[in-house]
Amino acid sequence: MTTEIRNLRTPNNKSTDTSLKPTIEKDPKEKATDIGQYLLCRQCLKIISSPAERIEVQGAHVHTFANPQGIVYEIGCFKNAAGCGYTGIPTDEYTWFRGFRWRVALCGLCLTHLGWLFMSTARLSFNGLILNRLVESKKQV
């Protein structure tokens, strides 16, 4: 389960800053190596997002949460996820990020549940994507 995500950066910023910071701007060299890479739906290989869309939310890119049923999800925060579709009415019920409402994010092709779209009243939004439901790829599709 962890092999596919071992290349993802782990959070090292412990600040409580709640702004949405692109992690990529910190290291221009790393940005170059990300060019051409994509994050694909593990189920159907549709392009969902890319490593360049990774952001930190509340001080970290990766967050681990359990839902009310006790299922644990490891999610990464992404500014944009063009391959996702969204369903459901925005709600703040059981939200994992204070001040953010959420909708369910699905693969736009095979409708696999990939995570959640989080939206704040300040119109900030980001995608929290379940990392083990994505695969990294350099291929152009």
- Whole-angstrom Cα distance, residue 38 to residue 137? 5
Task: State in angstroms the smallest separation of the CB of 111 from Zn ion.
Answer: 7
Q: Are 108 and 127 in contact (CB under 8 A)?
A: no
CB atoms within 10 A of CB 5: 16
Nearer to Zn ion, 101 or 133 (CB): 133
Nearer to Zn ion, 26 or 113 (CB): 113
Q: Which residue has the tokens 């299922």?
A: 71
Which of 53, 38, 42, 37 shows the shortest CA–CA distance to 107? Answer: 42
Task: State in angstroms the smallest separation of the CB of 104 from Zn ion.
Answer: 14
Nearer to Zn ion, 46 or 54 (CB): 46
Task: State in angstroms the smallest separation of the CB of 44 from Zn ion.
Answer: 3
Interface residues with Zn ion (CB under 5 A)? 41, 43-44, 46, 107, 109-110, 112
